[in-house]
């Protein structure tokens, strides 16, 4: 065996040993978080596909350039982005679910903090989308130019719909993940020991 092969074997053994040190309740906690994330991406993907299909049908059955046509157009375009987010995120969650032991204790806490922060930030952005939609809709009503009026009202109504869905979706996901953490944190904290100046992990 060469030195390179020996070092590779030692590295693999040390990695497996480190993964084996992760307590079972952390593995279960991470697995549940990934299952929840995967399910939420299926919901987002289903919403996206439904809107793309409905938007395509709506565009084909309404006069081009009309308020209804532009409403369906915006719905379809918006959900191309949603689908582009949902598919890789779902595949990523499934991949991580197959190897939950790669997350040690510090990275478990970090992953939980990040997922909650992402949904909270997105909830704030959703309010911005709805505000923009309301602004467009209101300005469209008072615009004397018929073409701009239809565009503003069509796009504005779409933003209100899409922003409203995403607001409920992101807020619900934040609540689910926060409750998961709240139910599990007592057991997870048992593996941390504080001595006043440092933290050590108890396995």
Q: Virtual CA dihedral for 110, 15, 184, 182, nearest 10 degrees?
A: 0
Rounded to 5 degrees, φ, ψ at 58 are -60, -40
For residue 36, pLDDT over 60 is answered with: yes
Residue 176 confidence (pLDDT):
96
Cβ atoms 115, 175 nearer than 8 A: no
Whole-angstrom distance, CA of residue 168 vs CA of residue 191: 35
Question: pLDDT band for position 108 (50/70/90)?
Answer: confident
* DSSP H or E segment with residue 8: helix 3-20
For residue 87, pLDDT over 70 is answered with: yes
Residue 101 confidence (pLDDT):
58
148 compared with 43, residue with greater pLDDT: 43
113 compared with 184, residue with greater pLDDT: 113
For residue 199, pLDDT over 70 is answered with: no
Q: Which runs of E-coded beta strand occur in the chain?
A: 192-194, 199-201
pTM over cut 0.85: no
Kindly report the number of other CB atoms within 10 A of residue 29's CB atom. 23
Note the Cα 203 to chain centre separation in Å: 31
Whole-angstrom distance, CA of residue 42 vs CA of residue 94: 11
Q: Virtual CA dihedral for 76, 79, 83, 84, nearest 10 degrees?
A: 100
For residue 174, pLDDT over 60 is answered with: yes
Residue 152 confidence (pLDDT):
93
For residue 201, pLDDT over 60 is answered with: no
For residue 60, pLDDT over 90 is answered with: yes
Cβ atoms 44, 86 nearer than 8 A: yes
Residue 21 confidence (pLDDT):
59
Percent of the chain past pLDDT 90, that is, above it, reads: 56
pLDDT tens digit sequence for 1-35: 454 443 344 334 333 334 445 667 778 888 899 99
Tokens of 33: 């978080």
Handedness of CA 117, 36, 111, 181 (dihedral sign): positive
Residue 9 confidence (pLDDT):
43
For residue 48, pLDDT over 50 is answered with: yes
Q: Which runs of E-coded beta strand occur in 150-194?
A: 192-194
SS3 73: helix
Average pLDDT across the chain, whole number: 82
Cβ atoms 161, 82 nearer than 8 A: no
Residue 100 confidence (pLDDT):
57
Mean pLDDT to the nearest integer, 30-59: 96
Q: Virtual CA dihedral for 189, 111, 24, 93, nearest 10 degrees?
A: 160
């Amino acid at each position: 065996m060469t030195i390179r092969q020996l070092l590779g074997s030692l590295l693999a053994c040390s990695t497996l040993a480190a993964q084996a040190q992760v307590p079972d309740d952390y593995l279960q906690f991470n697995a549940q978080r990934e299952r929840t994330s995967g399910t939420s991406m299926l919901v987002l993907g289903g919403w996206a596909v439904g809107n793309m299909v409905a938007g395509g049908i709506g565009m084909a059955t309404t006069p081009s350039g009309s308020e209804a046509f532009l409403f369906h157009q915006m719905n379809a375009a918006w959900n191309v982005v949603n689908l582009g987010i949902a598919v890789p995120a779902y595949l990523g969650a499934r991949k991580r679910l197959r190897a939950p032991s790669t997350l040690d204790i510090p990275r478990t806490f970090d992953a939980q903090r990040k997922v909650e922060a992402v949904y909270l930030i997105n909830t704030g952005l959703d309010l911005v989308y709805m505000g923009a939609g309301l602004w467009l809709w209101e300005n469209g009503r008072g615009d004397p130019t018929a073409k701009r009026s239809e565009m503003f009202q069509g796009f504005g109504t779409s933003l209100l719909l899409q922003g409203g869905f995403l607001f409920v979706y992101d807020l619900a996901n934040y609540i689910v993940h926060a409750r998961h953490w709240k139910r599990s944190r007592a057991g997870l904290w048992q593996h941390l020991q504080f001595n006043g100046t440092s933290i050590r992990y108890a396995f």
